[in-house]
Structure 1
């Protein structure tokens, strides 16, 4: 990193600090791509990261999963990760799959990174985001993607996988191995999520302005390194400052301060005109309950209304990102649909203002329920929830007074029992298994 930056005009001072002159920063800001498109293998699911376009998805890299049958927390496995991917594959409002679980049953880090990418790509054709702990793992993942795409040029034209890279250890220190991963990924043609996680009051200043200023500087440093490694790199500006509960030292990802902090960081990305990402949805609740609902909805909606291009961790996570829950994925899919619907532009014109229709109804029956326009638009203009209960209290009580978790569990079970996608054709899968040490058994990828 030092050599790359210094050859471009950077300076290593007597104290060992790497300095980025204004001319280098401005050159990178001018040269960095704004036309970043994160492709999907399914038609119609590409994500264009420009302006205030918003895409909501999963994430988290949790070490635990909430068992769908027992409701208990347990260590997560590669099979759990595959299940999460194929569940997201069927949830329309979870728009991408960012690795949400750690495959703790794969001990070798390089094998874990490769198998995480494989299981994710086997489970969904939505865009996949994962990570790599070493330069060697970057090469493995790039080779896997090239094999699936049918060639290096095909993958570079439509990159369906990107890497989340946390290149610094705040405050203002590069993480050497992660920085090398960033360079290797950029040169391999992998899109890179250049992410920085400072904790307000812990690893960054306690004020929102100070925390964002430091986080933006750290993130910009990573963007410059990626651009120097490959001027055509698809790099996503990912300032992700997090709030710490200063009474306990625990993360407070569902707080109002977190919503404000995220919004300000996204506004800085927009100031530079850079494709961007952030985190929202890191509830502190241990269950998909009312606390999880209000914390997630506050933070995801704030990020979306600010115009974050990518919002990760928006679905499925509990306990401050320590666990993923399959029933929470299903519940959050409803929430994300409502959030996305709230972003829709309001069409204003003669047809929508409807002065003639208002006049007709006022002089006639006095309501719009039977009006032709009401009937025509009841399907096109409304998003009806899959799970949220809109029955009358009497009808709800007659059905056994269920809360939202029961139908969510039933829906998750139904998807996981039936949806075993063939996203990797048998011949391709056989070739990948011959080339790589794939840990996910073929028998686990079809119905029992």
Structure 2
């Protein structure tokens, strides 16, 4: 016969919930940039080798079309050739030599050192991205064209969220009417909005030089920026299948010469611009990524480069992207495995839900794809927060919800300690013979503060408390938290003097009053 009432288990559980939420706990999730993945491997090492060999065959036999003269000249000097159709072929020995000598140690820095990201091995970092053309209004849930002010605001959101490690441009500032204004103001709004590492794009070499000059002013000198690069460049050097983009290759060349870290990104769509099979899609995407990486390496053998395979699933019924599909999780996982096969600093996309708001569909699609990428050991997971509608819109409330989801994903990567203390056989014996639960044990109380990640937005209250509070769902709490951040969190890491220098040097369109708390605007 049990020695305690039948409902004691439920009471203990609820006491445990309240204990975890009690004052004195950490009270909010804390991001970790030290967690490692690499626990999930859907493809064997032997078959990864087969994909690698297929990629080598593609590069040496099919090669790349539309190769710009600078690329042809650079690769040809290293042993590349051009076939009768004008396709640039990469010999296997050239790719092998690159993979043997390419630097693997890469740190992407924040404007403050606590936001530095070490990309060695299977260390996992999660961040924003998407370059969406629309913002989801916080109050009405309606989609509208995004602006420079919106871009700055979502950068502030990322700066305030503990489980988001970097800011990749999430929105397109559609109120900038030239590419020069767009690129320069995107870089400024991003760098002013967060101290975390920033990733942007440039549409021309001229724009890139201006972005580099901006970074030099912020860092204090060109040398200081090269030593601690707090901005890197997303470059889509390929138009699948197997064609170079001349403009992107020019930008890639300039970025490498400027010492700016580069993301060698490829975006094939399975069944549309790459084969319909996962193995074939990955093989082509590997080849396209290696081609860009080889060009960058030939320009500078010490290039700071990120291997950015990010193939996407196509919904073959409509031709649209299906970023939250189970097939997408599998395709991304295999892509990450290939980067690990080469032991290269890498990035991928996960979290590109097709849902229009942060609802249950958004939650399960994001959690599935991001978890699989993290478990595989992706160094950088972009588009992991804030994005909706297949990357067509960014949502302030989604950043808040996703921040909490990312904390849980990162926590799931933590190693499990097994030793005499954690096995706790003596404690088990004492409790089993005594009071019958572990809530009052010293180790329970101590680890309550260190071993658990407590949600702020997710609800763990009993049903009766939830009903008494008006049955709020996660979106209600997320909207309130997003509003709180947007009205109170204004980063000040760029000094007034630095901002004045930047505004004197560049055509900055973000008004100074947009960068201050409302109560400070009267002083401007």
TM-score in terms of structure 2 length? 0.85
- The aligned counterpart of 1:371 is 441
The correspondence of residues 50-199 of structure 1 with structure 2, limited to 5 A, is 50-199=120-269
Equivalent pair of 1:168/1:174 in contact (CA under 8 Å): yes
Equivalent pair of 1:56/1:96 in contact (CA under 8 Å): yes
Answering whether residue 474 of structure 2 is matched by residue 404 of structure 1, we say yes
Q: 2:115 aligns with which of 45, 48, 51?
A: 45
- The aligned counterpart of 2:342 is 272
Taking the aligned partners of 1:138 and 1:427, their CA distance within structure 2 comes to: 23
What's the secondary structure of 1:408's corresponding residue? helix
State the 1:27 CA deviation.
1.6
What's the secondary structure of 1:380's corresponding residue? coil
- The aligned counterpart of 1:433 is 503
- The aligned counterpart of 1:251 is 321
Taking the aligned partners of 1:352 and 1:183, their CA distance within structure 2 comes to: 53
Structure 1 window deviating more from structure 2 (8-17 vs 90-99): it is: 8-17
Taking the aligned partners of 1:232 and 1:433, their CA distance within structure 2 comes to: 33
Taking the aligned partners of 2:253 and 2:436, their CA distance within structure 1 comes to: 66
Answering whether residue 89 of structure 2 is matched by residue 27 of structure 1, we say no
- The aligned counterpart of 1:3 is 73
Equivalent pair of 1:253/1:284 in contact (CA under 8 Å): yes
Taking the aligned partners of 2:429 and 2:148, their CA distance within structure 1 comes to: 62
Higher normalized contact order (CA 8 Å, seq sep 6+, divided by chain length):
2
Taking the aligned partners of 2:139 and 2:359, their CA distance within structure 1 comes to: 17
Taking the aligned partners of 1:51 and 1:69, their CA distance within structure 2 comes to: 42
State the 1:367 CA deviation.
1.2
What's the secondary structure of 1:278's corresponding residue? strand
Taking the aligned partners of 1:353 and 1:359, their CA distance within structure 2 comes to: 12
Taking the aligned partners of 2:207 and 2:102, their CA distance within structure 1 comes to: 25
What's the secondary structure of 1:314's corresponding residue? coil
1:204-253 residue CA offsets vs partner (Å, 9 max, x unmatched)? 00000000000000001111111111222110001100000000011000
What's the secondary structure of 1:173's corresponding residue? coil
State the 1:70 CA deviation.
2.5
What's the secondary structure of 1:417's corresponding residue? helix
State the 1:99 CA deviation.
0.3
State the 1:107 CA deviation.
1.2
What's the secondary structure of 1:44's corresponding residue? helix
State the 1:178 CA deviation.
0.5
Taking the aligned partners of 2:367 and 2:435, their CA distance within structure 1 comes to: 39
The correspondence of residues 273-352 of structure 1 with structure 2, limited to 5 A, is 273-352=343-422
- The aligned counterpart of 2:19 is none
Taking the aligned partners of 1:233 and 1:400, their CA distance within structure 2 comes to: 56
- The aligned counterpart of 1:227 is 297
State the 1:122 CA deviation.
0.2
What's the secondary structure of 2:115's corresponding residue? coil
1:180-219 residue CA offsets vs partner (Å, 9 max, x unmatched)? 1111101101000110000000000000000000000000
Q: 2:451 aligns with which of 372, 377, 381?
A: 381
Equivalent pair of 1:121/1:423 in contact (CA under 8 Å): no
RMSD: 0.7
State the 1:255 CA deviation.
0.2
Taking the aligned partners of 1:408 and 1:252, their CA distance within structure 2 comes to: 25
**For the pair shown, which has the larger CA radius of gyration, 1 or 2?**
2
What's the secondary structure of 1:115's corresponding residue? helix
State the 1:424 CA deviation.
1.1
State the 1:42 CA deviation.
2.2
Q: 2:306 aligns with which of 236, 244, 247?
A: 236
1:6-55 residue CA offsets vs partner (Å, 9 max, x unmatched)? 11111111111111111210121122110000001123211111111000
1:328-359 residue CA offsets vs partner (Å, 9 max, x unmatched)? 00000000000000000111111111111111
State the 1:447 CA deviation.
2.1
Equivalent pair of 2:141/2:357 in contact (CA under 8 Å): no
What's the secondary structure of 1:243's corresponding residue? strand
Taking the aligned partners of 1:40 and 1:130, their CA distance within structure 2 comes to: 14
Answering whether residue 494 of structure 2 is matched by residue 424 of structure 1, we say yes
TM-score in terms of structure 1 length? 0.99
State the 1:265 CA deviation.
0.5
What's the secondary structure of 2:113's corresponding residue? coil
State the 1:68 CA deviation.
1.5
Taking the aligned partners of 1:447 and 1:362, their CA distance within structure 2 comes to: 56
Taking the aligned partners of 1:422 and 1:53, their CA distance within structure 2 comes to: 29
1:293-335 residue CA offsets vs partner (Å, 9 max, x unmatched)? 0000000000000000000000000000000000000000000
Taking the aligned partners of 1:336 and 1:58, their CA distance within structure 2 comes to: 11
Answering whether residue 512 of structure 2 is matched by residue 445 of structure 1, we say no
Equivalent pair of 1:170/1:198 in contact (CA under 8 Å): yes
